[in-house]
Amino acid sequence: MSSHAKIRLEHQQRCIGCYNCVFACSIEIFSQVSATRTAVSLKPCSLGDRFVVSICTGCDPAPCVAACKPEALRQDKDGKLELLKPSECERCETSDCAEACMTNAMLIDPKTNRPILCTQCGKCAEACPHEVITYKEGKR
Amino acid sequence: MNHLCNVLYVDLKEQRHEIVEVPELFEKFLGGSGLAIELLLNECPSGAGALAPENPVVLAPGPLGGLFPSAGKTVAAFKSPVTGNLGESHAGGRLAVSLRLAGYGALVIKGAGSSPTLLEIDSGGVSFRSALPLKGFSSLEVERGLRACVSCTRMQSIISIGLAGENQVAYAGVNVDRYNYFGRLGLGAVFGAKNLKAISIVGSGSIEVPDIELYKKTFKKLYSEEVETDKMAKYHYTGTPANVLVLNEIGALPTKNFQMGRFEHAEAISGETLGNDWLDRKVSCPLCPVGCMHVARLRPAFAKGFEYEPVDVYHNYESVYALGNNLLVKSAEEVLRLNHQANVFGLDTMLLGNVLAWATEAYEKDIINQTHTGGIMLRWGDTDAYLAMTENIALRSNSFYDKLAQGLDQTAEAYGGTEFAMTFGGNGPAGYHTGYASVLGTVVGARHSHNDNAGYDIDRGMLHRKLDVDRVLKELKKENEWRYLLTSLAVCLFARRVYNERRVVEALKAVGIERSVKELETLGANVYKRAFEFKFREGFDFGRVRIPRRTFESVTANGRLDETVFRGMLERYVKTEFGANLRK
């Protein structure tokens, strides 16, 4: 079990739907504001319902890694996802990795058609005003 | 600024759209109010009827939308069916960010559909769909129905009208993403006249920033100021209904149709009571950590056996004033029920409250009776009567309600009681019975809104002191102009203490727009002038603005107002700012 800090959903019910986590992620990974190219998503069916934040929790073992047939994807000991063989990933025409994610947290970048990988950087947690997402060390 | 110099033009009659690049307009006005008013001046033919197909609807986000906290407002400009003149209304929600992520800097809607229409807008353009299945639905139902549950990885905004808008009630609003409204000046009626039931905007693109490090640094500065200082604390904690007790204390809480400035049941409808007993949660606009939208939970029983219907009610101070103290409605639950009724039918809670207050007083004075109200006995504080009246107004159920649906000025003109028909410049006032600056500010603001210049704040700064006319006029001018700069950036006015001159310059610089404080001040002043150019073009005349007699009879927080003094102040302001003399 890793002792490296990981993001986790701590107080889901406190979400006010402000999107700071979503955009902090798109800025970090792609240097642009986007609700589409991001590893963090916010899912409201109706705004009258509770907000559902979706993040990669760095699960161990990770079903996305296991589902990757060309073995292009790996997870390091800290939960961070990495693309070992980008060319293999590029050739892949399925999205087994994203489909394997139990919480539908893994998203496919519509520009590149490749998975958007969470690096457990914690920027989403830092941006959250209500500790919906936290970034902590230790056992989950 | 690159792709955001686009204006998306939509023609409802021809079912066509066109994307036009106008970089010079964006360069000159930046966005928001400035851009929207300029597009309205260009697109609205002189003398067009507010409910005629020629009246365009302009929606403009600002250059900081989707990039910085509390800068995601959208400004709507149109001709108002309430005043027959400039209609300008601002809303939060996801609209600004959705438009920008779809790649549009502004949206202009022209013409009218031949049947109810749903516009679906994304980066690829526009689809025109029949909205017949949505006809008669409230905006709350439309929002739930159209929100795409399947794909979450995009920003979607849904704006729509309810029955009041469909029936072209002059002060119908447009709901934005369930908890926000283009509430003021009747955009909902304009949508209704255009047969435009709803618009769904999907933003699946991106916004690039020129210098990512500078952007991150600037973002952090603004974000920290919002969460770590008390500059926005009021909006975050108690919310705007915190005003109830504050204003009651100083005798500025409009009560019984502005007859008094104190309400004996203020405590029971206060922000504190709402927060303690009814608040369910707070909701935010994209990128704003404040979460000012206070949503209460009602649970009306629909059958015996603990059968409750959960009802979420977005509320704010202005709704509480208009549907609470000013009607002598004396419990938070009743205020929320009335507020919900207005939300369901899609009415501006403020002018609705002013209309109901006039009607109650007119009933009391035998100007109207049960033959007008359709059998409803109208008494102060009678929530059930007000609920029924609201429905009748939305449905325009007889000739009296049809008149009420046209507006308060129109009703009082037809039935009498103009001396207590509380409007200034045709628009219903906000809930501040504070003194000269509040009334004058409402008259000289382009929207006839307290948000134009916050005259009430000037009054509060002068409590129990001698009236300083020079100061009032100077501050009103300054606020009228600077606020037009902020709304041209579509910055939320709740964040006005965060977005001071220095921060505004920094934020713009971080997105590649270099402007000096002086240039920004000039822009604000210019937009204020342009707004009045539209107003004068369409027949606005300061000399003909009706000030109800009640204004000079009832006691404000700064005492009774003298009409001669007030007229003198108005005359001086108008002469200095517009070089015009008032006609007698």
B177 touches chain A (CB under 8 A): yes
A114: domain range? 13-131
The mean per-residue pLDDT over the stretch B424-452 comes to 96
Is B142 in the A-facing interface, judged by CB distances under 8 Å? no
Nearest to A16 among B206, B215, B282 (CB): B282
Distance CA B411, CA B176 (A): 29
Chain B partners within 8 Å of A30 (Cβ):
206
CB contact under 8 A, A17 and B284: yes
Mean pLDDT of B105-124: 97
Please indicate, yes or no, if residue A97 is contained in any of the structural domains: yes
Nearest to B152 among A34, A41, A127 (CB): A41
CA-based nearest distance A131→chain B, Å: 12
Instruction: For residue A17, give the chain B residue with the closest CA.
Output: B284
CA A118 vs. chain centroid, Å, equals 4
- Testing the interface with B: which of A11, A42, A43, A47 to mutate, by most B Cβ within 10 A? A47
pLDDT tens profile A84-111: 999 999 899 899 999 999 888 999 998 9
Q: What is the pLDDT of residues B196-233, one digit of tens each?
A: 999 999 999 999 999 999 999 999 999 999 999 999 99
Inspect the interface and report whether the beta carbons of A18 and B209 lie closer than 8 Å. Answer: no
Q: Note whether B3 contacts A: Cβ–Cβ < 8 A.
A: no
Mean of pLDDT values over B247-276:
98
Q: What is the pLDDT of residue B314?
A: 96
CATH of the domain at A56: 3.30.70.20
CATH code for the structural domain at B436-496+515-578: 1.10.599.10
Return per-residue pLDDT of chain A as tens, 140 residues. 445 788 999 999 999 999 999 999 999 999 999 999 999 999 877 888 888 899 998 888 899 999 999 999 999 888 889 999 999 998 998 999 999 998 889 999 989 989 999 999 999 999 999 999 999 876 54
CA-based nearest distance B241→chain A, Å: 19
* pLDDT classification of B433: cutoffs 50, 70, 90: very high
Judge whether A21 and A40 are in contact, CB under 8 Å. Answer: yes
Write the pLDDT tens digit of every residue in B8-42: 999 999 999 999 999 999 999 999 999 999 999 99
Interface of A with B (CB under 8 A): 16-20, 23, 26-27, 30-38, 41-48, 54, 107, 110, 127, 129
Verify whether the Cβ–Cβ distance B283 to A41 is below 8 Å: no
Q: Which of B56, B294, B76, B299 is nearest to B176 (CA)?
A: B76
Q: Where in chain B is the domain with CATH 1.10.599.10?
A: 436-496+515-578
Identify whether the C-beta of residue B186 lies closer than 8 Å to the C-beta of residue B50: yes
User: Which residues in chain B are contacts of A127 at CB distance < 8 A?
Assistant: 223
Say which of A32, A44, A46 has its CB closest to residue B206.
A32
pLDDT of residue A1: 40
Distance from CA of A1 to the nearest CA of B (A): 31
Tell me whether residues B143 and A46 touch, CB distance under 8 A. Answer: yes
The residues of chain B that CATH labels 3.60.9.10 are: 2-203
Nearest to B173 by CA among B55, B73, B91, B244: B91
CA-to-CA distance for B499 and B445, rounded, in angstroms?
A: 21
Distance between CA B206 and CA B568 in Å, rounded?
53
- CATH code of B2-203, in short, is 3.60.9.10
Q: Give CA separation, B274 vs A28, B245, B268, in Å.
A: 39, 12, 8
pLDDT in tens, B466-505: 999 999 999 999 999 999 999 999 999 999 999 999 999 9
The alpha carbon of residue B574 is apart from the nearest alpha carbon of chain A, in Å, by 42
pLDDT at B580 over 80: no
List chain B residues with CB under 8 Å of A37.
206
Query: Distance between CA atoms of B458 and B325, rounded to whole angstroms?
Result: 23
| From A85-89, B454-458, B557-561, the region with the lowest mean pLDDT | A85-89
Is B452 at the interface with chain A, CB within 8 A?
no
User: What is the distance in angstroms between the Cα of B213 and the nearest Cα belonging to chain A?
Assistant: 9
The answer to whether residue A138 sits within a structural domain is no
From chain B, the residues in CB contact with A56 under 8 A are none
pLDDT in tens, B135-169: 999 999 999 888 865 556 789 999 999 999 999 99
Give how far A98 is from chain B: nearest CA, Å: 13
pLDDT of residue B66 exceeding 60: yes
- CA atoms of B243 and A111, how far apart (whole Å): 48
Asked whether residue B1 carries a pLDDT value surpassing 50, the answer given is: no
**Residue A139 domain flag:** no
The 3-class SS string of B90-125 reads EECCCHHHHHHHCCCCEEEEECCCCCCEEEEEECCE
Asked whether the beta carbons of residue A18 and residue B101 sit closer than 8 angstroms, the reply is no
Is the residue at A40 inside a domain?
yes
Q: Give the per-residue pLDDT at B480.
A: 98
Model confidence at B584: pLDDT above 50: no
Q: pLDDT at position A140, please?
A: 46
Is A6 domain-assigned? no
- Token pair 């407002």 is found at B73
**Which segments of chain B belong to CATH 1.10.569.10?**
232-420
Q: A interface mutation test: which of B149, B284, B294, B309 has the most A CBs within 10 A? A: B284
Query: What global pTM score does this model have?
Result: 0.95
- The answer to whether B236 contacts chain A (CB < 8 Å) is no
Asked if B281 is an interface residue toward chain A (Cβ–Cβ < 8 A), one would say yes
> Other C-beta atoms within 10 Å of B517: how many?
13
Number of domains in chain A: 1
Residues of chain B with C-beta less than 8 angstroms from the C-beta of A113: none
CATH number of B232-420: 1.10.569.10
How close A88 gets to chain B, by Cα (Å)? Answer: 25
Q: Percent of chain A beyond pLDDT 90?
A: 64
Gap from B230 CA to chain A (nearest CA, Å): 15
Q: At what angle do helices B139-146 and B332-345 cross, to 10 degrees?
A: 70
Q: Is the dihedral of CA B506, B512, B518, B520 positive or negative?
A: negative
* Contact across the interface for A48 and B154, Cβ inside 8 Å: no
B280 part of contact set with chain A, CB < 8 Å = no
Q: What are the pLDDT digits (tens) for B338-347? A: 999 999 999 9
Strands B559-560 and B555-556, sheet pairing:
antiparallel
Q: Is residue A3 part of a domain?
A: no
